[in-house]
Amino acid sequence: MDRVEQTNESWRILIVEDDERLAELTREYLESNGLAVSLETHGGSAVERIRNEQPDLVVLDLMLPGEDGLSICRRVRPFYSGPIIMLTARTDDLDQVLGLEMGADDYIGKPVKPRVLLARIRAMLRRVTENAQNSADEASNEEPTRLQFNDLVVDRSMREAWLSDISIDLTSAEFDLLWLLSSNAGRVLSREEIFTALRGIEYDGQDRSIDVRVSRIRPKIGDDPIHPRRIKTVRSKGYLFVKEA
Protein backbone atom coordinates (compact mmCIF):
# COMPACT_ATOMS: atom_id res chain seq x y z
CA MET A 1 0.00 0.00 0.00
CA ASP A 2 1.21 3.49 -0.78
CA ARG A 3 1.98 5.66 2.20
CA VAL A 4 0.69 9.20 2.29
CA GLU A 5 2.09 12.11 4.26
CA GLN A 6 2.53 11.34 7.95
CA THR A 7 0.52 13.44 10.39
CA ASN A 8 0.84 14.02 14.11
CA GLU A 9 -2.79 13.33 15.00
CA SER A 10 -3.31 11.08 18.01
CA TRP A 11 -6.81 10.11 16.96
CA ARG A 12 -7.94 6.69 18.20
CA ILE A 13 -9.80 4.51 15.71
CA LEU A 14 -11.68 1.28 16.41
CA ILE A 15 -12.16 -1.01 13.40
CA VAL A 16 -14.92 -3.61 13.76
CA GLU A 17 -14.26 -6.08 10.92
CA ASP A 18 -14.45 -9.90 10.94
CA ASP A 19 -12.01 -10.34 8.05
CA GLU A 20 -8.88 -10.46 10.20
CA ARG A 21 -6.40 -10.17 7.34
CA LEU A 22 -8.17 -7.14 5.88
CA ALA A 23 -8.51 -5.57 9.32
CA GLU A 24 -4.81 -6.05 10.07
CA LEU A 25 -3.71 -4.63 6.72
CA THR A 26 -6.00 -1.64 7.24
CA ARG A 27 -4.62 -1.11 10.74
CA GLU A 28 -1.03 -1.17 9.47
CA TYR A 29 -1.81 1.39 6.80
CA LEU A 30 -3.67 3.75 9.12
CA GLU A 31 -1.03 3.48 11.83
CA SER A 32 1.72 4.20 9.29
CA ASN A 33 -0.13 7.45 8.68
CA GLY A 34 -0.28 8.61 12.28
CA LEU A 35 -3.48 7.06 13.67
CA ALA A 36 -3.81 4.80 16.73
CA VAL A 37 -5.91 1.79 15.70
CA SER A 38 -7.47 -1.09 17.64
CA LEU A 39 -9.40 -4.04 16.17
CA GLU A 40 -12.52 -5.99 17.03
CA THR A 41 -13.46 -8.99 14.89
CA HIS A 42 -16.69 -10.09 16.58
CA GLY A 43 -19.91 -8.14 16.45
CA GLY A 44 -21.05 -9.48 19.80
CA SER A 45 -18.15 -7.72 21.57
CA ALA A 46 -18.26 -4.44 19.66
CA VAL A 47 -20.84 -2.59 21.77
CA GLU A 48 -18.89 -3.00 25.00
CA ARG A 49 -15.61 -2.15 23.28
CA ILE A 50 -17.11 1.12 22.04
CA ARG A 51 -18.69 1.85 25.43
CA ASN A 52 -15.48 1.24 27.35
CA GLU A 53 -12.92 2.71 24.95
CA GLN A 54 -14.87 5.68 23.54
CA PRO A 55 -12.69 5.88 20.39
CA ASP A 56 -12.56 9.09 18.37
CA LEU A 57 -14.09 7.25 15.40
CA VAL A 58 -15.49 3.78 14.65
CA VAL A 59 -15.14 1.98 11.32
CA LEU A 60 -17.97 -0.57 11.41
CA ASP A 61 -18.56 -3.42 8.99
CA LEU A 62 -22.19 -4.17 8.15
CA MET A 63 -21.98 -7.97 8.11
CA LEU A 64 -20.48 -9.34 11.34
CA PRO A 65 -20.73 -12.55 13.37
CA GLY A 66 -22.64 -12.24 16.64
CA GLU A 67 -24.34 -8.93 15.84
CA ASP A 68 -24.64 -6.96 12.62
CA GLY A 69 -23.39 -3.45 12.11
CA LEU A 70 -26.85 -1.86 11.96
CA SER A 71 -27.79 -3.25 15.36
CA ILE A 72 -24.45 -2.21 16.86
CA CYS A 73 -24.83 1.31 15.50
CA ARG A 74 -28.33 1.65 16.93
CA ARG A 75 -27.31 0.31 20.35
CA VAL A 76 -24.23 2.52 20.84
CA ARG A 77 -25.77 5.83 19.84
CA PRO A 78 -27.30 6.55 23.29
CA PHE A 79 -23.80 6.64 24.83
CA TYR A 80 -21.43 7.21 21.92
CA SER A 81 -21.46 10.51 20.01
CA GLY A 82 -18.33 10.01 17.89
CA PRO A 83 -18.41 9.49 14.11
CA ILE A 84 -19.25 6.05 12.72
CA ILE A 85 -18.21 5.07 9.20
CA MET A 86 -20.07 2.00 8.00
CA LEU A 87 -18.54 -0.43 5.50
CA THR A 88 -20.83 -2.43 3.24
CA ALA A 89 -20.19 -4.89 0.43
CA ARG A 90 -23.77 -4.47 -0.74
CA THR A 91 -24.82 -1.96 -3.35
CA ASP A 92 -28.43 -1.78 -2.18
CA ASP A 93 -29.39 1.79 -1.25
CA LEU A 94 -31.61 0.38 1.49
CA ASP A 95 -28.60 -0.73 3.53
CA GLN A 96 -27.06 2.70 3.22
CA VAL A 97 -30.30 4.42 4.19
CA LEU A 98 -30.78 2.09 7.17
CA GLY A 99 -27.22 2.72 8.29
CA LEU A 100 -27.79 6.46 8.28
CA GLU A 101 -31.10 6.04 10.08
CA MET A 102 -29.40 3.96 12.78
CA GLY A 103 -26.91 6.78 13.36
CA ALA A 104 -23.99 6.18 10.99
CA ASP A 105 -22.26 9.35 9.78
CA ASP A 106 -20.86 7.99 6.54
CA TYR A 107 -20.65 4.78 4.53
CA ILE A 108 -18.10 3.35 2.13
CA GLY A 109 -18.63 0.47 -0.27
CA LYS A 110 -16.31 -2.51 -0.23
CA PRO A 111 -13.68 -3.22 -1.39
CA VAL A 112 -12.31 -0.19 0.41
CA LYS A 113 -9.25 1.60 -0.92
CA PRO A 114 -7.02 2.43 2.08
CA ARG A 115 -6.30 5.95 0.83
CA VAL A 116 -10.04 6.63 0.48
CA LEU A 117 -10.74 5.34 3.99
CA LEU A 118 -7.90 7.43 5.42
CA ALA A 119 -9.18 10.54 3.64
CA ARG A 120 -12.73 9.98 4.94
CA ILE A 121 -11.50 9.40 8.49
CA ARG A 122 -9.36 12.54 8.48
CA ALA A 123 -12.12 14.66 6.92
CA MET A 124 -14.66 13.50 9.48
CA LEU A 125 -12.38 14.00 12.47
CA ARG A 126 -11.30 17.41 11.21
CA ARG A 127 -14.96 18.34 11.01
CA VAL A 128 -15.52 17.24 14.61
CA THR A 129 -12.44 19.19 15.77
CA GLU A 130 -13.44 22.30 13.82
CA ASN A 131 -16.98 22.18 15.19
CA ALA A 132 -15.65 22.07 18.74
CA GLN A 133 -13.18 24.90 18.03
CA ASN A 134 -15.85 27.03 16.34
CA SER A 135 -18.14 26.58 19.33
CA ALA A 136 -15.32 27.66 21.67
CA ASP A 137 -14.44 30.64 19.47
CA GLU A 138 -18.04 31.77 19.28
CA ALA A 139 -18.39 31.50 23.04
CA SER A 140 -15.22 33.52 23.66
CA ASN A 141 -16.24 36.13 21.09
CA GLU A 142 -19.75 36.33 22.50
CA GLU A 143 -21.15 35.41 19.12
CA PRO A 144 -24.58 33.74 19.22
CA THR A 145 -24.43 29.99 19.71
CA ARG A 146 -28.15 29.64 20.32
CA LEU A 147 -30.75 30.17 17.62
CA GLN A 148 -34.50 30.31 18.23
CA PHE A 149 -37.26 29.95 15.67
CA ASN A 150 -40.57 30.19 17.53
CA ASP A 151 -40.78 26.93 19.52
CA LEU A 152 -37.56 25.48 18.07
CA VAL A 153 -34.24 26.21 19.80
CA VAL A 154 -30.85 25.04 18.50
CA ASP A 155 -27.77 25.47 20.73
CA ARG A 156 -24.38 24.88 19.15
CA SER A 157 -22.28 25.10 22.31
CA MET A 158 -24.40 22.42 23.99
CA ARG A 159 -24.98 20.57 20.71
CA GLU A 160 -28.64 20.20 21.61
CA ALA A 161 -31.98 21.28 20.24
CA TRP A 162 -35.40 21.62 21.84
CA LEU A 163 -38.93 21.74 20.47
CA SER A 164 -41.43 23.35 22.84
CA ASP A 165 -38.85 22.95 25.64
CA ILE A 166 -38.56 19.20 25.01
CA SER A 167 -35.10 17.89 24.08
CA ILE A 168 -34.84 16.50 20.54
CA ASP A 169 -33.04 13.20 20.04
CA LEU A 170 -30.50 13.95 17.29
CA THR A 171 -27.43 12.05 16.15
CA SER A 172 -24.20 14.03 15.90
CA ALA A 173 -24.51 14.17 12.10
CA GLU A 174 -28.15 15.27 12.31
CA PHE A 175 -27.27 18.08 14.70
CA ASP A 176 -24.46 19.28 12.43
CA LEU A 177 -26.86 19.42 9.49
CA LEU A 178 -29.59 21.15 11.51
CA TRP A 179 -27.12 23.77 12.76
CA LEU A 180 -25.75 24.36 9.27
CA LEU A 181 -29.23 24.89 7.83
CA SER A 182 -30.61 26.95 10.72
CA SER A 183 -27.53 29.18 10.97
CA ASN A 184 -28.05 29.94 7.27
CA ALA A 185 -31.79 30.50 7.65
CA GLY A 186 -33.30 32.28 4.67
CA ARG A 187 -30.56 31.14 2.28
CA VAL A 188 -30.76 28.14 -0.04
CA LEU A 189 -27.85 25.77 0.52
CA SER A 190 -26.99 23.44 -2.35
CA ARG A 191 -26.26 19.77 -1.73
CA GLU A 192 -22.70 20.49 -2.83
CA GLU A 193 -22.28 23.19 -0.14
CA ILE A 194 -23.82 21.00 2.54
CA PHE A 195 -21.81 17.94 1.57
CA THR A 196 -18.51 19.83 1.53
CA ALA A 197 -19.23 21.59 4.83
CA LEU A 198 -20.23 18.42 6.67
CA ARG A 199 -18.08 15.77 5.07
CA GLY A 200 -15.03 17.70 3.89
CA ILE A 201 -15.11 15.98 0.49
CA GLU A 202 -16.63 16.82 -2.87
CA TYR A 203 -20.21 15.79 -3.64
CA ASP A 204 -20.39 13.03 -6.24
CA GLY A 205 -23.97 13.82 -7.29
CA GLN A 206 -25.30 10.45 -6.15
CA ASP A 207 -24.84 10.29 -2.38
CA ARG A 208 -28.22 10.30 -0.60
CA SER A 209 -27.03 10.84 2.95
CA ILE A 210 -28.05 14.51 3.07
CA ASP A 211 -31.56 13.74 1.81
CA VAL A 212 -31.93 10.90 4.32
CA ARG A 213 -30.87 13.10 7.21
CA VAL A 214 -33.20 15.93 6.20
CA SER A 215 -36.09 13.45 6.05
CA ARG A 216 -35.21 12.26 9.57
CA ILE A 217 -34.75 15.76 11.01
CA ARG A 218 -38.07 17.14 9.72
CA PRO A 219 -40.44 15.20 12.00
CA LYS A 220 -38.08 15.64 14.95
CA ILE A 221 -38.37 19.44 14.71
CA GLY A 222 -42.13 19.34 14.18
CA ASP A 223 -41.99 19.73 10.43
CA ASP A 224 -44.47 18.09 8.06
CA PRO A 225 -42.60 15.42 6.05
CA ILE A 226 -45.06 15.74 3.14
CA HIS A 227 -45.47 19.51 3.10
CA PRO A 228 -42.46 20.84 5.03
CA ARG A 229 -42.57 24.40 6.29
CA ARG A 230 -39.29 24.63 8.22
CA ILE A 231 -36.84 22.83 5.95
CA LYS A 232 -38.00 23.20 2.37
CA THR A 233 -36.63 21.40 -0.66
CA VAL A 234 -35.91 23.88 -3.43
CA ARG A 235 -36.07 21.92 -6.66
CA SER A 236 -32.72 21.67 -8.48
CA LYS A 237 -31.20 24.01 -5.87
CA GLY A 238 -30.97 22.42 -2.43
CA TYR A 239 -32.52 23.09 0.96
CA LEU A 240 -33.89 26.22 2.62
CA PHE A 241 -34.40 26.68 6.34
CA VAL A 242 -37.32 29.10 6.77
CA LYS A 243 -36.85 31.75 9.46
CA GLU A 244 -40.51 32.27 10.20
CA ALA A 245 -42.14 28.89 9.61
Q: What is the mean pLDDT of residues 64-79?
A: 92
Q: Give the three-state DSSP class for 88.
A: strand
The reported pLDDT for the residue numbered 163 is 95
Check residue 227 and report its DSSP letter. S
Check residue 112 and report its DSSP letter. P
The reported pLDDT for the residue numbered 32 is 94
Q: What is the mean pLDDT of residues 63-78?
A: 92
Check residue 183 and report its DSSP letter. T
Residue 145 confidence (pLDDT) above 90: no
| CA atoms of 148 and 109, how far apart (whole Å) | 39
Whether 73 contacts 84, CB under 8 Å: yes
6: pLDDT confidence band, cut at 50, 70 and 90?
A: very low
Q: What is the mean pLDDT of residues 102-116?
A: 86
Burial 50-82 (b: 16+ CB within 10 A, else e): beeeebbbbbbbbbbeebebbebbbbbbeebeb
For 7-45, how does the pLDDT look when each residue is reduced to its tens digit (9 = 90+)? 445 899 999 999 999 999 999 999 999 999 999 999 999
In the chain, the amino acid numbered 56 is D
All domains of the chain in start order, with CATH: 12-133 (3.40.50.2300), 146-241 (1.10.10.10)
For 160-213, how does the pLDDT look when each residue is reduced to its tens digit (9 = 90+)? 999 999 999 888 788 989 999 999 999 999 988 988 888 766 666 667 778 888
The reported pLDDT for the residue numbered 84 is 93
4: pLDDT confidence band, cut at 50, 70 and 90?
A: very low
Hey, CA dihedral for 167, 172, 176, 181, is it positive or negative? negative
CA dihedral 143, 166, 211, 125 (to 10 degrees): 50
The reported pLDDT for the residue numbered 217 is 94
For 199-223, how does the pLDDT look when each residue is reduced to its tens digit (9 = 90+)? 766 666 667 778 888 998 999 999 9
In the chain, the amino acid numbered 95 is D
Residue 104 confidence (pLDDT) above 90: no
| CA atoms of 65 and 60, how far apart (whole Å) | 12
Distances (CA, A) of 194 to 75, 119, 124, 189, 217: 28, 18, 14, 7, 15
Check residue 165 and report its DSSP letter. T
